[in-house]
A = this chain, B = another copy of it.
Amino acid sequence: MSTGTCYIALLHHPVYNRRGDVVTTAVTNMDIHDISRAARSYGVARFYIVTPIEKQHAFVRRILRHWQRGHGAIANPSRKEAFDIVDIKGTLADVIEELSAKAERTVHVVATSAASRGRPTTYEALRMMIGKDGGAYLLVFGTGWGMAGDVFDRADYFLEPIEGPTGYNHLSVRSAVSIALDRLFGKRQ
């Protein structure tokens, strides 16, 4: 199975806050660590942190630098390896543009959500698609209370929500990304 063409975008704008307003959330240090480690483990080619706020770009770059070239790189070489796939962009459109140019092929945008909407693509179906056509698949995850509607309008696929046996589904985005990657690329004995 080809996994070299899966990408992740973690969206900080446009997303909802708890009241349903469209806002920009702050980048969280723990998101960078946990999601880059999961992405690196499951063969994701690039993990894009997406925020339009310039100061947040500087914040992310400072963290990356610490673990890639600073004291952290010596103390924890595996973290450096994970951070090597992290990048930061201003908008989802910037990510898609870069991927289209780099990958020289169609970029399939795959939206995710904790709530059901429309006719979702199953993990099984997406796994088979990625395995077959060798295209570039960009999985988009929202922060805050979920991605604003216009992100879904531009998505090619909407992935089935992650559900357990209870009615409760309030996973952290870190958990959701990890589970999604395991469903798509996990090895089972």
Contacts and interface: CB of A to CB of B under 8 A. Distances in A.
Contact of A165 (B3, B33, B123, B165): B3
Most buried by B among A40, A78, A165: A165
Assembly of this chain: how many copies?
A: 2
Contacts of A41: 163-164, 166, 168-171
A152 interface: no
A80 to B, nearest CB: 11
Interface in A77-132: 78-79, 81-82, 120, 122-124
A122 B189 contact: yes
Most buried by B among A18, A179, A186: A179
B43 A165 contact: yes
Contact of A178 (B3, B43, B169, B175): B175
Interface of A: 1, 3, 18, 30, 33-34, 37-38, 40-43, 76, 78-79, 81-82, 120, 122-124, 160, 162-166, 168-172, 174-175, 178-179, 181-183, 185-189
